[in-house]
Chains A and B, each alone.
Chain A
């Protein structure tokens, strides 16, 4: 209904909150208000017409008009007492009274007021619903009221004769029209309510469908996540097994080959072995990146002294064969501080960064320093790896941590990188709550640093040695 909004606002003012809260009661109360606000307008047409043709029955008509106009009091009674059910029954009783008073005074059993009886059960249904107790009470009210009426007729003689039969026909027409308008108004209002209820139900059904789709999507995502983990685990195993064979058998052959007798074979086997290791590094990096991206990377953070860890890594490189007589220098200003890190992951990162330094800076020592810095107002421990190579061109800085970008294709082929090292290291650091940073120092060597947030070491306990 186009003016439903305004009308509802006015009618809702009369309706107590507890009725407004529940949809069915709200509908019924609004019907009650429509009926009582507009009913008297339609109903009073009849006594007004009767007064016009029958001045001498002013008193009778006054009673009738009072009864009809009395319906206008009911909204206010509802507002101030909230006794909805009681007021509904009283209202219906009032209506019955008005009808029977009219019948008694104008035409008896063939009164034009009788059609209005039809509205009584209809209104009872609108106001109170169709429960058994309502039906029974209404039937009783109608029966008793009609019974009194018939009784008056049976014992009281004939009905007063106030108006001529001809005029009664006009009243009949007026009565029927006003009753029809009244019933139509109620029906239209009710149809409007039904329509908005249907729209409401359509909305609700749409929301429920959306919720169902969301549930389905969530469980699909979960299944996909589980499938991803399974795939990662399986791939990890499937890829590493043949790689182990390449690395292992080339090693065995190397041990069997006499370099004096077959130096070319030794070279070839070394290449196979190196290629196998290289491939393994790539596979591990890709699998690690996928794992981190899928949120499946395990991290075990524990307070760890940094200096021994760094020394251990440096020593491993020194006893390895990649350094080629270059130096690794460790400068330790850590003062035995502990940091919250995952030991294996930090070692992995340091290995990758030193590997970068070895590859991109062919000469000069590699320096690893542990120091204290202030970052964002808090203390942090910084591990810095510096080399003396060509450094990194500033224009390459933005893409440094993107996977698969490398310094440039030329250096990629020369230095054998695949652009996975820094992005993976960066993500591994993030997992530990650390930050990885790079200072290009072009021409003077690159400087890569890891900032680890540290808390006061005094109250950190070392894990019990296994």
Chain B
């Protein structure tokens, strides 16, 4: 069962996403802020990370950069979740090394499709190496 790390500071968003991801068959771990997100990524080595961008003192972009900087974690696909559909956000997500990005409110079907796509892509990569 694939493990997803969800980094999201809002309790309601965390709850909603966790339940729906679990129902779709994933194991979900949650972090409440950037530093905790980086620490848990290090500890758990998840298969995919969902990173909320608006996090607080350390924003999602910074946390992504920190995770990508660690060689052991650099290959984990990260999907950025932003509240705005801004072009600047899309560019930024590419800059910091995100594999994809999605907007809130989350259209769960759309997000799930992205999650599945990136997980299978990674599995193929892992199998090939």
The interface of chain A, by Cβ under 8 A from chain B, is 236-237, 240-245, 247-249, 251-252, 255, 280, 298, 300, 342-344, 466
Residues of B at the A interface (CB closer than 8 Å) are 10, 12-13, 16, 19-20, 23, 54, 83-88, 90, 94, 104-106, 108
Question: Which of A243, A245, A252, A342 contacts B19 (CB under 8 A)?
Answer: A252
Q: In the bound complex, do residue A300 and residue B88 qualify as a contact, i.e. CB atoms below 8 Å apart?
A: yes
- Of A242, A249, A251, A342, which is within 8 A of B87 by CB? A342
Residues of A within 8 A of B83 (CB): 236-237, 240
Q: Are A252 and B86 in contact (CB under 8 A)?
A: no
Q: Which 6 pairs across A and B sit closest by C-beta, in order of nearness?
A: A248-B16, A300-B87, A245-B12, A244-B105, A247-B105, A466-B94
B13 surroundings in chain A (CB, below 8 A): 241, 244-245, 248
A298:B20 contact, CB within 8 angstroms = no
Instruction: Report yes or no: B105 in contact with A280, Cβ–Cβ below 8 A.
Output: yes
Q: Does more than half of chain B's interface fall in helix, strand or loop, or is it mixed?
A: helix
With the chains together, A344 CA to B91 CA distance in Å?
13
Q: How far is the CA of A248 from the CA of B108 in the complex (A)?
A: 9
Q: Is the CB of A298 within 8 A of B105?
A: no
A237 touches which of B20, B54, B85, B90 (Cβ 8 Å): B54
Complex Cα–Cα for A381 and B66 (A): 46
| Min CB–CB distance A5 → chain B (angstroms) | 64
Contact B105 A252 (CB under 8 A): no
Residue among A243, A248, A255, A298 with most chain B CB within 10 A: A248
The reply to whether A243 and B87 form a contact with Cβ atoms under 8 Å apart is no
CB of B101, distance to nearest CB on chain A (Å): 11
User: B88 near A241 (CB under 8 angstroms)?
Assistant: no
Complex CA–CA separation, A245 to B19 (angstroms): 13
What residues of A have a CB within 8 angstroms of the CB of B20 in the complex? 252, 255
**Cross-chain contact B12 with A248 (CB below 8 angstroms):** yes
Name which residue of chain A comes closest to B106, CB basis. A248
State the CA gap A407–B22 with chains docked (Å): 46
**Chain B residues with CB under 8 A of A255:** 20, 23
Contact A240 B85, beta carbon cutoff 8 Å: no
Shortest Cβ distance from A245 into B: residue: B12
Contact B86 A248 (CB under 8 A): no
Q: How far is the CA of A248 from the CA of B19 in the complex (A)?
A: 11
Residues of B within 8 A of A242 (CB): 12
Determine which of A236, A249, A466 lies in contact with B16 in the assembled complex, contact meaning CB atoms within 8 Å.
Answer: A249
